[in-house]
Each structure stands twice: as structure tokens, then as C-alpha cells.
Structure 1
Amino acid sequence: MDHLQTQGISLPRLGLGTFRMQGDVCRAAVESALALGYRHIDTAEMYANEDAIGRAIASFPLPRNDLHLTTKVWHKNLAPDAIRRAFDTSLNKLRVEFVDLYLVHWPSRSMNLPAVFETMVKLKEDGLTRAIGVANFTMSLLKTTVEEIKAPIACNQIEYHVMLSQSKVKSYLDNKGIPLVAYSPLLQGCAESNATLIEIGKKHNATVAQVALKWLLDQPGVAVIPKASRTESQKANLDALKVDLDDDDRRAIGALPKDKRLVNPGFAPAWD
């Protein structure tokens, strides 16, 4: 498994997303992923599954330093005291002494960005998170965070897949040496019937999902966190690493429409 080096942490490029997985289903999924060799688990306060993930981690014989664990603070909890309370709650549910990466899950129109990162940096300085970062940040928010506040962010986690262009944000992140972590990399199943991806898959004896994942993983500075609750799907996602896309494949994928944004809640920022 390749890793991305960022702000003092080593981030496995293929992880397990856990949105909409809860309870025993989530616990079993994480245990299965760890047994298969996954070492990057992504969760969030809002997912309401940190306790299940904590139980799975506690039951698996793996040194803590061999596991990368990301969680996130919800946009309604971005006041400094609220961040600290949310973080403490997450840490207790996950049953760990630290997390590897703590993210602002979504920006808030009412947040005081310097105060947010002052609090996040303090968590890092106290050894409670090894790194901090953001999710769903636009170009303008990234510029403020990186260039004005000079926050040491380790990634921007955003929706990114074969049918959504993130070229402007990715170019900025690349220039700053900041990884992009792609969520919804499989378009929540929406790509399965795409003729172009089906043909590329047949050419390589691969599934559409494997083609979509490998297109992302072939890009420098990108990590992916596909959600998969079944062992078979988790293994298939790992096997995407073996797919060898060629220039013709990449041209064909590049020609697909790139305007299919699947995650756009009412509190989302104005995408730029």
C-alpha cells in the first residue's frame, strides 16, 4: 500500500469510508477491513459510528501506530469550546489516546476561522491528534486557511470521482503539497452503468468500481476512501491497485462529463 507523507503523518492512499454504516454492521465492516490489510479508517462525529469503530479497533490485535484513524468535527461545533468537547467525545468513543487526523468536516458561514485553527493546532500540540485538516473547503477557504492563517493542514477531503472535476482545487493543493482525499470515489454506485467505464473494465478484466478507483489512485497526491461494508467489496477495492490503466483509458475517462456533484447539502459553501 502506497502512503502520502503530509504534516508528519503517513496516510495510506486507500482507506475505508464508513458514512451511513452504524452499529454491528459498522463494527463487522471495520474488523473485516483490518483483517484484509486496510490501515486507514475514516469516520466522523456526524456518522454516529465512532463507538462501533472503537469496539472494532479494540478487538483487533494491531499496534496503534500501525493504524491511521481520521475523524471530523461537525460544522455546528466550530466554536473553540465546542470543538474541544466534540473532540473529547470522539476520542472516548473511539477508545484511543489520539487520532491521526482531525478534520473540520464542513465549513460554517458563522465560523471564526482563525479561532477554529487555533483550537485545532492546540489539539495537535497536546498530542491528541497527530495532524489536522479540512474537508469540503473551497479554493477561497483554502487560500485563507493556508496563506493567511497559515494553518498546517494535512489534507482537504472532498467529493472527487470520474464525473466531477476538481481541477482548480487539486492544482492548488498540488502546488502547496497538500493531499486530496477523495470521498464518494465510486459515485455512490452511479457509475455502474456507464458504458465507457464498463468497456475499460472489460479490457482489464476489472469492475467499473476498480476502474474508477484506479483512475484516482493513478493521480499523485490523491487518497481514496470508498465505503464498503461487505468483505467481498473491500477486497475488490484493494484489488483496484492491480489494475493498469493506459493513456487511452485515461483519455476516455477524461472525456466523461465532469459536473456530477452528488453531495451538496443546504449548508454547503458556494463551490468555486
Structure 2
Amino acid sequence: MQRLTTRNGLNLPAIGLGTWPMTGTECTQAVRQALELGYRHIDTATAYANEAAVGQALRDSEVPREQIHLTTKVWWDRLAPKAMRQSLEDSLRALGTEQVDLFHIHWPGQDWDLARSIETLVALRDEGKARSIGVANFPLGLLRQVVETLGAPLSAIQVEYHVLLGQPALLDYARRHDLLLTAYTPLARGQAAAQPVIQTIADKHGVLPSQVALKWLLDQDGVAVIPKASSRDNQLANLAALNVQLDDQDRLAIASLPKDQRLVSPAFAPDWDS
């Protein structure tokens, strides 16, 4: 499995299993199966209401915990210091582990004390509750504030990123500041594979359109992907995307697609241009 690393210790398998919106038995079975197939990167969050199901899969699996990268996240309404601490404690209990490998702030807060939230995030890392820390869904301006003004030792940022949504400014910043970028919704909820350009490239190489969309991301330095998949065939197909070989003509064709199709922007989302 291809891995991405940072100087401060994050070691992230390039392909992970996204678990939203799976819950209960479906989630447990999907995670357990993924681990059997070779996945070593599982992504969850308090808001997904599936941490206990993920934890059950970890207990069921023969894969040692230390070989599994586990990411979870705190929701935006629990970013005050005491609430954030409790959120992570709840997550650790549900997951059945003493430490997560990466702990994200899931979304920027509303009328929040950014400095105190980031101070708590860093403290949780220093206390060993999380091996690494990061943020999700932060626009560039806010990310700069966290990294440069507050000096937070972030390891990663997680954002929506796929062939129909570009993230050039965030990706450039992440690379310059030794952050890994995890792309969620990397298949654009099926829209990526439906693009004729992607289908043509897939036919050319004898692979699936979804694999083309994933490999376009995986070929970029410092980018990991976390497609959700519950079936064995889809989990295997996503893993096999690593073996796809795109050429410059393919990349030029993908570059021609619109890059402004954001699919995840809830009412509490930040100003993406800020």
C-alpha cells in the first residue's frame, strides 16, 4: 500500500475507507472486510454515529491495531475546550482504543474562540490522545491563521476534492507546510464516473471510470483518498486504482473538466473563498 508521510510523524495509507453514511452492522461488516482485503486506513467521525461499529470491526479483525491508521473528528458544536476533550474521550471509548492516529476538527465553528479550540487540539496531541492533528473543511484563510498565526503543528487537512472540484490553492499551501491532504467524496457521489471524458480514459486503459477518478487524485503529491465502499467488489476496485497508469494526455483531458462542482456545502459551511 502506498503511504504518505510528514516530517512530524504522520504515516498515512494513500487509500482509506470512508465510512459515512454507514452505521451499525453494515458499517462493522464493511470495515472488517476492508481490513481483510488490505485496507489500513479507516476514516470515521463523531457525527457519523458509527464509531462504535468501527470499533467492533477493529476488535473483530486479526489485523493488529498498530497497523491500522484511524482518523476521527470532533463536530463543530463541540469545539469549546471541555466539550472537545469529552468528544475525543467518547470517541476513544466507542472505538475501543487509547489513541487515534489523526484527530480533526470536522468543520469550523460558529462564533467560536478559534485560539482556545486550537490550543485544546494541540494539547490532546501532546497528551497522547491523538498521534497527529488536523482540520477538515477549513478554507485557505482560516488554515493560514491556524498554521501561521497560532503556530499549530497540524499534519493534515481533509476537504472535498475530485475531478469536478479543484483545490489548487489549498494543495499548494499544504505542500509548502508539510500537510497531507485527504480528499473526501473523491468520486463526486458517482458524478465523476459519469463524465464522458472519464469513461473514455477508462475504456482506453481497460479499467473502471471510478479508478481513473481515484488515480488522478492519487498521482498528486501529498493526496490521499477515502472513498466509501461497502461491497467487496467496490473495495477491491478502489484498492486496484493504485495500479492504473494515466498519461499526460489523460491528465490534460481531466483538466478540461469543470472544477467548480462542490457537492458538500451545508448551511454551517464557511465562506469557501475566505
TM bucket (normalised to shorter chain) is over 0.9
- Deviations along 1:32-89, one digit per CA (max 9) or x if unpaired, are 1000000000000000000000000011112221110000000000000000111110
Cα deviation 1:149-178 (Å, max 9, x = unaligned): 010111110000001011111111111121
- What is aligned with 2:143? 142
- Output one character per residue of 1:168-192: Cα deviation in whole Å (capped at 9) or x when no partner: 1111111112111000000011123
| Cα separation, 1, equivalents of 2:3 and 2:150 | 27
1:234 is aligned to 235
| Conserved? CA contact 2:17–2:229, under 8 Å | yes
CA distance in 1 between partners of 2:168 and 2:86 (Å): 36
SS in 1 for 2:131: coil
Secondary structure of the equivalent of 1:157? strand
For structure 1, which segment, 57-66 or 199-208, has the greater mean C-alpha deviation from structure 2 after superposition? Answer: 57-66
Give CA deviations for 1:120-154 in whole Å, capped at 9, x if unaligned.
11111111110110000111101100000010111
1:94 correspondence with 2:95: yes
Q: Secondary structure at the residue paired with 1:152?
A: coil
Q: Secondary structure at the match of 1:71?
A: strand
Residue 9 of structure 1: how far off its partner (Å): 2.1
Kindly report the root-mean-square deviation, in angstroms, between the aligned alpha carbons of the 2 structures. 0.8
* Aligned residue number for residue 153 of structure 1: 154
1-structure distance, mates of 2:145, 2:117: 13
The match for 1:179 is: 180
Aligned to 1:108: 109
String of CA shifts for 1:3-54, please: whole Å, max 9, x gaps: 1112312111110000100000000000010000000000000000000000
Helix, strand or coil at the partner of 2:100: coil
Q: Where does residue 31 of structure 2 map in the other structure?
A: 30
- In structure 1, the residue matched to 2:165 is 164
Structure 1 residue 82 corresponds to structure 2 residue 89: no
Unaligned residue ranges in structure 1 (runs of 5+): none
CA distance in 1, matches of 2:242, 2:13: 12
Amino acid at match of 1:3: R
- Report if aligned partners of 2:155, 2:178 keep a CA contact under 8 Å in 1: no
The letter for the 2-side match of 1:223 is A
Q: Is the 8 A contact 2:193 2:213 kept in 1?
A: no
Gapped runs of 5+ residues in structure 2? none
Deviations along 1:175-228, one digit per CA (max 9) or x if unpaired, are 112111000000011123211000000011111100000000000010000000
Show the 5 A alignment for 1:122-137. Answer: 122-137=123-138
Whole-Å Cα distance in 2 between the matches of residues 147 and 248 of structure 1? Answer: 38
**Whole-angstrom CA distance in 2 between matches of 1:208 and 1:86:** 38
Q: Report the residue type matching 1:202 in the other structure.
A: D
> 2:4 matched to 1:21?
no
Tell me how far 1:249 sits from its aligned partner. Answer: 0.1
Aligned residue pair count: 272
> How far apart are 1:112 and its partner, in Å?
1.2
The residue number in structure 2 matching 1:3 is 3
Q: Equivalent residue for 1:12? A: 13
Equivalence map 1:185-264=2 (5 Å): 185-264=186-265
SS at match of 2:228: coil
Q: Which runs of 4+ in 1 moved over 3 A?
A: none
Larger mean CA deviation between 191-200 and 93-102 belongs to 191-200
Q: Report the Cα offset of residue 246 of structure 1.
A: 0.1
**Other structure's SS at 2:156 match:** strand
Q: TM-score scaled to structure 1, two decimals?
A: 0.99
TM-score, structure 2 as length reference: 0.98
Query: 1:109 is paired with a residue of what secondary structure?
Result: coil
**Bigger mean CA offset, 141-150 vs 171-180:** 171-180
Tell me how far apart the structure 2 counterparts of residues 240 and 5 of structure 1 sit (CA, whole Å): 20
Q: Secondary structure of 1:82's match?
A: helix
Please give the secondary structure, in 2, of the residue aligned with 1:69: strand
Matches of 1:200 and 1:68, distance apart in 2: 32
